[in-house]
Amino acid sequence: MSGFINERRFPVTAILIGTGIAAAVTLILLFVICGILTFMSSVPYSLLPYLTLIALAGGVFCGGYICAAIAKSRGLIVGLICGSILFVILLFAGLSTGETVGIMTLLRFIVSAVFGILGGIKGVNKKEKLRIK
């Protein structure tokens, strides 16, 4: 009886590529949001954490999608792993800058997990598979 990690074809490469793409897409979405906010003068400060959640959701969804499309199976698991890895990276980056752990951190984890899973499911169920050797 072999587990998911002990199997010969554990998709480490797919998870690393998906997590990298998730981070890149999140960063690009944050740049776009910052660009839009630059031209808007009446944005309340309390809206900013929710805008970053939207960027995180989009990035993790894209990363989970790519990750599962490369792995060709186990979309739920690889999407969850991709979202969780990105959450841990962002958590440590936030803690290193003095951010405290609170309800927003829990919300970030939930968003990362749910959108990673949704992207993974969508990536596995697409008609044409991505091929990376």
The domain in which residue 115 lies consists of: 12-124
Task: Specify the number of domains making up the chain.
Answer: 1
> Tokens 């002990």 sit at which residue?
6
Whether 107 maps to a domain, the answer reads yes
Question: What gap in Å lies between CA 46 and CA 39, rounded to an integer?
Answer: 18
Helix (H) / strand (E) element for 118: namely helix 103-124
Question: What gap in Å lies between CA 82 and CA 30, rounded to an integer?
Answer: 19
Residue 71, pLDDT above cutoff 60? yes
Could you give the percent of the chain with pLDDT greater than 70? 89
Whether 3 maps to a domain, the answer reads no
Enter the pTM of the model.
Answer: 0.85
Q: Which residue type does 126 have?
A: K
Q: Are 66 and 24 in contact (CB under 8 A)?
A: no
Residue 110, pLDDT above cutoff 90? yes
Whether 84 maps to a domain, the answer reads yes
Whether 97 maps to a domain, the answer reads yes
Average the pLDDT over each of 6-15, 21-30, 56-65, 89-98 and give the range with the smallest value: 6-15
Residue 90, pLDDT above cutoff 80? yes
User: For residue 81, which of 1, 4, 3, 26 has the smallest C-alpha distance?
Assistant: 4
Residue 3, pLDDT above cutoff 70? no
The reported pLDDT for the residue numbered 4 is 56
Q: Are 70 and 11 in contact (CB under 8 A)?
A: yes
* Percent composition of the chain: helix, strand, coil (DSSP 3-state, to 5): 75, 0, 25
Whether 131 maps to a domain, the answer reads no
Whether 82 maps to a domain, the answer reads yes
Question: What gap in Å lies between CA 34 and CA 129, rounded to an integer?
Answer: 34
Residue 5, pLDDT above cutoff 70? no
